[in-house]
Copies of this chain bind each other. A is one copy, B any other.
Amino acid sequence: MPQSLNSTDQLSIGQVADRSGIAVSALHFYEREGLIFSSRNEGNQRRFNRDVLRRIAFIRASQRVGVPLANIKEALDELPLKRTPKEGDWAKVAKRWHEVLTAQIDYMERVRDDLWTCIGCGCLSFQRCRLVNPDDAMSAEGPGPRRLLPGTPRPEKH
């Protein structure tokens, strides 16, 4: 399969993998999870629209700052399905992310500074210090790894 001469403007999965640096297996996974989409050619091979690269860039950037895939999917679900997203569509998504990240950054700064001063003052305890306290959104989260920006809580156990 010659890599350059596919008549349409679509990309094979290998090309997407090369250009994005994401493993083919991960692209399969993202598609299964509904984060990216593709059509198929005559031979049942995936063909990706070029804008998938933007999606992937967004996915990876979001992961790097601790956002779980489920939340990334929610954000991407805001993009139009029928047509290729335009600047304005992305801008809305980006605006939301900007707020979320700012909140998390503020939180991290608080932890960083509290850790510093609380250890200095010797109050690193549960009674007095706001560092780790009942507003801890991560307590009571069930199994699985703890992560930042947990987004929507897990369904209550019945």
Interface pair B94/A105, CB less than 8 Å apart: no
Residue of B nearest to A138 (CB): B64
The interface residues of chain B lying within 8 Å CB-to-CB of A91 are 119-120
Kindly state whether residue A24 has any CB partner on chain B within 8 Å: no
The interface residues of chain B lying within 8 Å CB-to-CB of A53 are 125-126
Kindly state whether residue A145 has any CB partner on chain B within 8 Å: yes
Kindly state whether residue A109 has any CB partner on chain B within 8 Å: yes
Interface string of A1-15 (1 = CB under 8 A from B): 000000000000000
Interface pair A111/B61, CB less than 8 Å apart: yes
Interface pair B65/A132, CB less than 8 Å apart: no
In the bound assembly, the distance between CA atoms of A122 and B86 in angstroms comes to: 9
Kindly state whether residue A41 has any CB partner on chain B within 8 Å: no
Residue of B nearest to A92 (CB): B119
Interface pair B98/A115, CB less than 8 Å apart: yes
Interface string of A136-148 (1 = CB under 8 A from B): 1011000001111
Q: Which of A15-64 contact B (CB under 8 A)?
A: 19-22, 53-54, 56-58, 60-61, 63-64
Residue positions of A touching B, CB distance < 8 A: 19-22, 53-54, 56-58, 60-61, 63-66, 87, 90-91, 93-95, 97-98, 101-102, 104-105, 107-109, 111-112, 114-116, 119-120, 122, 124-126, 129, 131-132, 134, 136, 138-139, 145-148
Give 7 A-B contacts (CB < 8 Å), ordered by A residue.
A53-B126, A61-B131, A87-B122, A91-B119, A91-B120, A98-B116, A101-B115
